[in-house]
């Protein structure tokens, strides 16, 4: 059996080290050391936050001449649990939370999965949208949206279902694409100055991370969880396709299928912003 790279991905305080210990074999946080062991035919667990797509891809490109299986494992724990486990690193953990890109095969992985170090109670959709702090009752407080956060999400999901009726995981991504606005809403602009309207900096990352803890409806397999999270985290990117060069760069990264799915999310998002 050949060597396997297991790249652990997760916030500090999420329990990556416990999962690494359970894997056995070589464990390191140093990429150069990992490459050396893999080249020698030894399996390695790379234990570091590894949260950004770009840095993961850069590392995997360094492995192009090193034959090995490549597995990404997201070690997921709620933000509150991570902060409680590492209170002295609270500021860094929050930055990590707003930097989370779920891994996908297009980065160069043979397998992607998510694990939960602690038993968890999944967040029910009805509680998320209609509970005491439900998103249906969270106003956007911005001129870019007429509806509450929850209503916008529901309308986006309805439009995604109309555009691609055979893909319930895509509808769910549209439904959850803005759920992180509850964690990121602030009346402060990008320069730290008070603002009359709300801003949601980093909400796409928060939404992608929070989606890991939502109970999926039966129509959507758990195997789709990281795909749903990835569709969420990238949902702002098509708004920045201001040139054919940028568009083509992401087409090469994502591949045609994911690129087409992102186009559906973009159209659904836009269609759900204002009253008809």
The Cβ of residue 155 has, within 10 Å, a number of other Cβ atoms equal to 21
Instruction: Please tell me the pTM assigned to this model.
Output: 0.95
Cα separation, 184 vs 99, whole angstroms: 13
What whole-number percentage of the chain has pLDDT above 70?
Answer: 99
Cα separation, 153 vs 171, whole angstroms: 10
Report yes or no: 233 and 208 within 8 Å, Cβ to Cβ: yes
Q: What is the pLDDT of residue 92?
A: 97
Cα separation, 36 vs 125, whole angstroms: 46
Greatest pairwise CA separation for the chain in angstroms = 62
Q: What is the pLDDT of residue 147?
A: 95
Phi, psi torsion values for 47, nearest 5 degrees: -105, 100
Report yes or no: 68 and 46 within 8 Å, Cβ to Cβ: no
Going from the C-alpha of 221 to that of each of 17, 45, 84, 110, the distances in angstroms are 28, 27, 31, 19
Q: What is the pLDDT of residue 181?
A: 97
Reported as a single tens digit per residue, the pLDDT across 40-84 is 999 999 999 999 999 999 999 999 999 999 999 999 999 999 999
DSSP helix/strand/coil, 104? coil
Report yes or no: 90 and 183 within 8 Å, Cβ to Cβ: no
161 falls in which pLDDT band (50, 70, 90)? very high
CATH of domain 4-115: 3.40.50.300
The contacts of residue 190 (CB under 8 Å, 6+ apart) are 199, 201
242 falls in which pLDDT band (50, 70, 90)? confident
Phi, psi torsion values for 175, nearest 5 degrees: -65, -35
What stretch(es) of the chain map to CATH 3.40.50.300? 4-115
Say what the alpha-carbon torsion angle 257, 160, 149, 92 is, to the nearest 10 degrees: -10
What is the average per-residue pLDDT within 27-31? 95
Cα separation, 221 vs 168, whole angstroms: 10
DSSP helix/strand/coil, 111? strand
Q: What is the CA radius of gyration of the chain?
A: 19
What is the average per-residue pLDDT within 214-237? 96
Cα separation, 16 vs 24, whole angstroms: 13
Cα separation, 153 vs 242, whole angstroms: 25
Interhelix angle 256-271/244-254, rounded to 10 degrees, is 120
Report yes or no: 255 and 106 within 8 Å, Cβ to Cβ: yes
- For the 125-271 domain, the top CATH level (class) is mainly alpha
Q: What is the pLDDT of residue 240?
A: 87
Helix (H) or strand (E) holding 198: strand 194-199
What stretch(es) of the chain map to CATH 1.10.3210? 125-271
Q: What is the pLDDT of residue 1?
A: 54
């Amino acid at each position: 059996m050949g060597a396997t790279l297991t790249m652990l991905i997760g916030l500090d305080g999420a329990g990556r080290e416990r999962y690494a210990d359970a894997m056995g074999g070589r464990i390191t946080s140093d990429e150069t050391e990992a490459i050396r062991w893999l080249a020698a035919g030894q399996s390695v667990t790379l234990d570091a936050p590894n949260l950004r797509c770009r840095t993961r891809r850069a590392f995997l490109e360094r492995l192009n001449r090193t034959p090995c299986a490549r597995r990404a494992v997201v070690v997921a724990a709620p933000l509150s649990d991570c902060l409680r486990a590492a209170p002295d690193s609270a500021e860094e953990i929050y930055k990590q939370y707003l930097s989370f890109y779920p891994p996908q095969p297009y980065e160069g992985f043979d397998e992607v999965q998510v694990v939960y170090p602690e038993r968890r109670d999944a967040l029910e959709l009805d509680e998320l949208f209609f509970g005491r702090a439900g998103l249906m009752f969270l106003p956007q407080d911005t001129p870019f949206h007429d509806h509450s956060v929850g209503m916008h999400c529901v309308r986006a999901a309805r439009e995604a279902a109309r555009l691609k009726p055979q893909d319930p995981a895509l509808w769910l991504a549209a439904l959850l694409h803005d759920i992180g606005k509850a964690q990121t809403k602030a009346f402060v602009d990008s320069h730290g100055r008070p603002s009359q309207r709300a801003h949601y900096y980093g909400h796409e990352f928060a939404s992608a991370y929070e989606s890991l803890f939502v109970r999926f409806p039966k129509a959507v397999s758990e195997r789709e969880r990281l795909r749903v999270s990835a569709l969420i985290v990238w949902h702002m990117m098509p708004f920045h396709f201001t040139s054919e060069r940028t568009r083509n760069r992401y087409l090469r990264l994502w591949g045609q299928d994911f690129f087409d799915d992102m186009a559906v999310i973009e159209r659904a998002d836009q269609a759900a912003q204002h009253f008809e």
